[in-house]
């Protein structure tokens, strides 16, 4: 019976760790996206820092990535940047890979 309990605890711990890693990767991805978008909008360093945080916060509005894409598209359009939704989605994928690479590398 203890083997079953130990196995159950290990599975729960692994699940919690996987969820935490996924959360960290998404937050890092969103910060990277915010930095990219801030560059397109010619924001100052202080504005860029605030914008990166705003993009991370936007991801809490609903499940999935649509809230982040909507924010970026709206902000970039308002700033006069000529960026399509397809480009934003492509950058999102690119930044997701980079975020995972950074997390795996410990940077």
Q: What is the pLDDT of residue 6?
A: 77
Q: What is the pLDDT of residue 11?
A: 82
Q: What is the pLDDT of residue 99?
A: 95
Q: Domain limits of the chain?
A: 2-105
DSSP string, 14-77: HHHHHHHHHHHHHHHHHHHHHHHHHHHTT--HHHHHHHHHHHHHHTTSSSSSHHHHHHHHHHHH
Q: What is the pTM of this model?
A: 0.81
Query: Which architecture characterizes domain 2-105 according to CATH?
Result: Orthogonal Bundle (1.10)
Q: What is the pLDDT of residue 107?
A: 55
Q: What is the pLDDT of residue 22?
A: 84
Q: What is the pLDDT of residue 1?
A: 62
The one-digit pLDDT tens for each residue of the chain (107 residues) are 678 787 788 788 777 777 788 889 999 999 999 999 999 999 999 999 999 999 999 988 888 899 999 999 999 999 999 999 999 999 999 999 999 999 888 65
Q: What is the pLDDT of residue 12?
A: 80
């Amino acid at each position: 019976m203890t083997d079953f309990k130990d196995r159950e605890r290990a599975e729960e711990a692994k699940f919690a760790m996987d969820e935490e890693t996924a959360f960290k990767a998404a937050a890092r991805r969103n910060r990277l996206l915010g930095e990219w978008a801030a560059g397109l909008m010619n924001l100052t360093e202080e504005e860029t820092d605030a914008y990166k945080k705003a993009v991370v916060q936007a991801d809490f509005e609903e499940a999935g990535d649509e809230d982040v894409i909507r924010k970026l598209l709206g902000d970039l359009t308002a700033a006069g940047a000529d960026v399509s939704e397809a480009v934003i989605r492509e950058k999102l994928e690119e930044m997701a890979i980079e975020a995972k690479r950074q997390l795996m590398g410990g940077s």
